[in-house]
Structure formats: structure tokens, C-alpha cells
Amino acid sequence: MIIGSHVSMGGKEMLLGSVKEALSYNANTFMFYTGAPQNTRRKPVSELRVEEAKELMKEKGIDMDKVVVHAPYIINLGNTIKPETRELAVSFLRQEIERCDEIGASRLVLHPGAHVKAGDEAGLDAIVSGLNEAMKPDQKVHIALETMAGKGTELGRTFDQLAYIIDHCDYPELLGLCLDTCHLNDAGYDISDFDAILDEVDEKIGLDKVLVVHVNDSKNPQGSHKDRHENIGFGTIGFDTLDSIVSNERLKDVPKILETPYIEKNAPYKEEIEMLKKHEFNPGLKEMFE
């Protein structure tokens, strides 16, 4: 099972610290941001202690090819209302792609964008155009478009929308998917039969395009379009469904990343990963941190 969580990157150890945090959770992969997700400030890659991080990963058996980078939230390629916002999104995404290539990361998760009341068609075409401007054929990183819950004017809430983006982009071979369990549930998909979900993905996009799975329970019922993550087994999706997803043989080579909430300011990832590895729900998980 290739499983880990979102980890921080900061302080003096930077990416080396990210690896150490992941190891503390008994994880064999992880996801990180190359800088704060809410702003454009970025340290040079030369200051991120990448080579030291890679040395520790090699020693501990973490495959760099399975490590995931998440693009900043502030990138919105779907905005056709404010040209300056779109220009920032394109240039910032281009920069993130270059940083991933320099680091050696091969999977970059991206929220497709929101149309900001311009309509789905205009927003989807703007995303395609933005990707065409930001990407280049010789880049090493593949962009994993994340399935979204559909709150507000979010796009990427259906596989048809994601297929449209990939099919119309100039670089479909460099695009893939990040399946987020909470987002799929909140978007209206019944993920209790995940093989049916994977069949639809295979038919419309291709199962080989699944590059990442975000494993999150949901605080809201199916189809709520809310996007509020819950700890594993404590939400409306439930432990058994999430356990079956991370254990699905069709996804065995895909990294699974937890983005569940902290409990009383404590990361529960070690305990949640242990539950999924043992296939045993711990109903006392939250009490351990209270």
C-alpha cells in the first residue's frame, strides 16, 4: 500500500523535514506544497534541501516518483472575469511546474478552477487555454486535475468536465486525475461501489490517468457540494468504504494521500494510516487526542 499524508515544509529543514514528518507517520509517500498555498512567495529550490531529502527517502524506501506536490489554492485558470487574476494563475502555475521539474517531482495536483459566474463552458475553455499557456511538451511533471465537490462555481465536479479539459488540451499525455473521496461524495457520486467509479473513469478518461487518490471522509451527505473533510471512519462515507478504496487492486500503484483534519491541533495521520494498513477501525481515535 502506497500511503501517506499532507506534510508541512518549513523551518530550517525544509523538504528534509517533510520527509522526517512522513516517516514519523509510518508513511511511504507524502504530499507537500513548494511554498505557502495562499500566496506567491517562494524560496529558491536551492534552499529547500532537496538532495538531503532524497538521500533520506532512498535510505528509507520512499520512491520520489510516488511523492506528490499540490499546487497553490490561489491558482484559478477558470476565471474569465478578471484578466489579471487569470494572468497570475497562468504564470504562477508555470512557475510551479518549473519548480517541480527542478525538485524532481512527477505528480502535481491542481484544482481545475472556478468559472466565477461566467458559465461552465466559458470556464472549461479558460482552463484549457490556461493549461496550454502554462505547460510545455518537455516538462517532466504530470498535472493531476483534482475531482472537486462543486461548491460555488467550481469546475471539475464531474468526470465529463475533467475529460473535456484533458481531451481539448494540447498536452493530454501530461494530464491525469487526482480522485478525492470527500469531493466525489460531495459532488454526488456514490463511492460505496468504487469499482463502478473506476469503470466510469476508465471509459471516459482512462484508468492509467489516475495519478493520486486523496483519502478523506466527509462531514456532509452525498451530493451536498460542501467540501468539508472528516477523519477516517467518522464521516458519512465510513471506514469500510475508504478501506476498500485504499486496498483496491486497480489502484495498488497509485499514491494515497490523507488530508483529514487535525484533532485538537494534533495530526492523526499515523493512527489513521495504521487503521487502513490493519483494516481495523479505531472508534476511539479522536479520544486519543482530547
Work out whether strand 210-215 and strand 154-155 pair parallel, antiparallel, or are unpaired: unpaired
DSSP 65: G
Report whether 6 belongs to an annotated binding site: no
- Residue pair 229/260 in contact (Cβ under 8 Å)? The answer is yes
Please, what's the b/e burial string for 72-105 (b: 16 or more CB within 10 A of its CB; e: otherwise)?
A: beebbbbbbeeeebbebbbebbbbbbebbbbbbb
Report whether 217 belongs to an annotated binding site: no
Q: How far is CA 197 from the centre of its chain?
A: 18
Q: Which residues contact 65 (CB under 8 A, 6 or more apart)?
A: 106
Report whether 227 belongs to an annotated binding site: yes
Cell 451530493 found at: 223
Report whether 183 belongs to an annotated binding site: yes
Report whether 146 belongs to an annotated binding site: yes
- Residue pair 70/34 in contact (Cβ under 8 Å)? The answer is no
The residue count for the chain: 290
Report whether 111 belongs to an annotated binding site: yes
Angle between helices 239-246 and 269-278 in degrees, nearest 10:
80
Work out whether strand 210-215 and strand 175-180 pair parallel, antiparallel, or are unpaired: parallel
The CA distance from 276 to 287, in Å, is 18
Angle between helices 194-204 and 239-246 in degrees, nearest 10:
50
Report whether 229 belongs to an annotated binding site: yes
Q: How far, in Å, are 152, 181, 183, 188 from residue 225 at the CA level?
A: 8, 13, 8, 8
Binding positions are 70, 111, 146, 180, 183, 214, 227, 229, 259
Binding positions for Zn(2+) are 70, 111, 146, 180, 183, 214, 227, 229, 259
